[in-house]
Chain A
């Protein structure tokens, strides 16, 4: 029973991690159709922002949302300089953001050095009988749920959400209706970036902060969004549940090595069986 509880927590924490790293990408890639290969580096910047914040003496719980905000602003700058000239040129966007990713990794390792910086994991651990898990896992799970709900409400229930989706789906029509599509795209890209920064910041205490921070996550993030399919938020959640759940279960009973391989295999087989993604046949709200 105690073991079952710790397994449940660890599965949920895996799913939460996958959700957190994917949700920003779900907005930028899933919704806006912009391929941002620097997404991993946006996560990495969020982690470094928290590092800098805590070193300056800012409380961790305040530093985390600030890190999200900072990366969001950085994202807006990137959108203006790099993404905007390349809208509609998918492959060029991909290559340019890839270049950006390489530049960011190198720049960060010049500034902060290539070594791993740790931020102590806050909160203690919970003991359940002979087993224990970190309380921070619970924080991740709650934060993932809150973020997801917030994004869903933002894009379905607010004026901004409707206008942003209109600007993406039919820019000409949206402009004709008086929507400033350039501004909408900039904002949406910024929100996606902020979500990435927030995820990186949340993960910083449990993962080491290194320049290659993003590389560990980017593949899973893209896989999750692709497997999720067109229904961006619910699809991504379902995919995170499926992939994260099977990864952590396989890892638990075998090794993380086999867990990784299983995740990849499931994702590829799913694409053959459901090329439209999990949500391909759902009624689409978002």
Chain B
């Protein structure tokens, strides 16, 4: 049973089945219906691009129809200008894909490297699409042409050549519209396969990781911005393929795909088909188009009204879409149980050598407006040692920690890792240089299993699937979560989640480990176990712990630095510090007596 499921889940089977089914269906329908079906498949392809970008990578984009539209124009421009000489339109199709992908990558670069939020990505892509609508609509005059291709304003570009596969001197036959159906089905199947293979790769898991928890992924050392730009470029390429196919199918292109209803349709296909299912993109496109054809016969003038209504109803009532619904029914008839994959334990331990690297802060200052949250702190954390930072609320511990992590950039001062400046590096770049970071609030992938969490952390460092899997077993044993390997991380207790996150930090074999309140929210027993865990970390790395819990700090038995009002108040062993009058003043809230000194 589970074997059947595994085959079904493999990359190639679904695309092959869908393509065969579609080709078979093509035998039984009229040529006229084939023309319509080809269009639906093309819509499904655009929906696939959105489902990849949104359903799998979590980036909501209104821009897929924009990439589609630009690609269709690109196919037209290249085809009209070149095909009379070259006798083929393959170059036009490839050109369409490249143009759309490049446009998506460029837009993605500005958005993701600018670190704009999710909602803004939606709005910006929408704005780009709508501005393109206005721009393309205003190209009616004869002066707007590229080579022999007239852009044509709202009336659109005409005489776009059909697909043909000739070579210079020997023009191929222009493909008829019914044949285009088979061609489009094959293209869609190919794109479907490529997307599935990509999602299966290590990169695919990273994409999932970003969707689930962007901050954690960044702290593991993945360049989230780059990954998102790649996702966007791939999505743009798939939409571009659809656009090229569309122009070749209809021999015509106008600005209508840039309009709001067109952009809405793509989202509806994905929602109706089931977000994140990929195959649902095609199911949704065909279902919605079929429905609106039927409804169009009954209520000719109200298709948009119906589309809008479907959107509202699906959002409010069927948030999962059709595909999971059908899948649920199928599972009842043929129970295919998905068995959690157990990775074979591969012996060889990885990493864990060396004694860590030293970390140094030199004259760090961080201002927030007029407030000096960190006021020239110079502090050295020698290689391979454990060090604790304590201080009352508002002492600047968190700010200082965030400066070390790279989430804030200091107003003044330097941070050195083994003598080299890392002051201006982003968090993921610091992680790549061997700094492991655990934030105060457990930041894990709640939807992923415990072992997948650790795998992602290990893979960030090793980029080898097998080595990463070996590291997973080693780490799980260390943090004592072997039994819970297949549970979703969100099911763990609060303390276990903290350990898991420490495990994720360990999995990337860091040289320096920064822990922000690792025992926050733990029971007494859990705290005591954490002491052992953290002391163990110091055997292979430099460890800096920011902590509130005095008992924990005492049990760690490490050098302590006390911060107060953004400055270093005292340093030494906890036993010595406890006798320090100034520290007592600060912690007990007594008036600061050391005036004038």
Query: Taking beta carbons and an 8 Å cutoff, which residues of A are in contact with B?
Result: 35, 37, 82, 85, 90-92, 94-96, 98-103, 105-107, 110, 215-216, 218-220, 222-223, 226, 255-257, 260-261, 263-264, 267-269, 271-273, 275, 283
Contact = CB atoms under 8 A, between A and B. Distances in A.
Contacts of A283: 369
Contacts of B127: 219-220, 222-223, 264, 267
Contacts of B271: 95
Given A95-B311, A99-B311, A264-B131, A90 B305 contact: no
B7 interface: no
Contacts of A107: 305
Interface string B132-146: 011100110000100
Contacts of B120: 226, 271
Given A101-B260, A267-B127, A268-B128, 20 more contacts: A85-B316, A91-B60, A92-B316, A95-B312, A98-B311, A102-B264, A102-B308, A107-B305, A215-B133, A215-B259, A219-B129, A219-B131, A220-B127, A223-B127, A260-B134, A263-B131, A264-B127, A269-B110, A271-B124, A272-B110
Contact of A35 (B115, B116, B119, B302): B119
A103 B305 CA distance: 5
Contacts of A271: 110-111, 114, 116, 120, 124
Contacts of B316: 85, 92, 96
Contacts of A222: 123, 126-127
A16 B256 CA distance: 29
16 contacts: A35-B119, A35-B122, A92-B315, A95-B267, A98-B260, A98-B308, A99-B312, A102-B261, A222-B123, A257-B135, A260-B131, A261-B131, A268-B128, A271-B110, A271-B111, A275-B114
Contacts of A98: 260, 264, 267, 308, 311
Contacts of B133: 215
Nearest to B129: A219
B307 interface: yes
A236 B153 CA distance: 31
Interface residues of B, number: 46
Given A95-B315, A222-B123, A257-B139, A268 B110 contact: yes
Contacts of B531: none
Contacts of A260: 131, 134-135, 138
Contacts of A216: 134
Where chain A touches its partner, the secondary structure class is: helix
Contacts of B113: 272
A39 to B, nearest CB: 11
Contacts of A37: 126, 260
Interface in B283-338: 301-302, 304-305, 307-312, 315-316
A94 B310 CA distance: 14
A99 B302 contact: no
A99 B315 contact: yes
A281 B307 CA distance: 42
A100 B126 contact: no
Contacts of B134: 216, 219, 260
Contacts of B129: 219
B107 interface: yes
B180 to A, nearest CB: 30
B130 interface: yes
Contacts of B139: 257
Contact of B311 (A91, A96, A256, A264): A96
A102 B138 contact: no
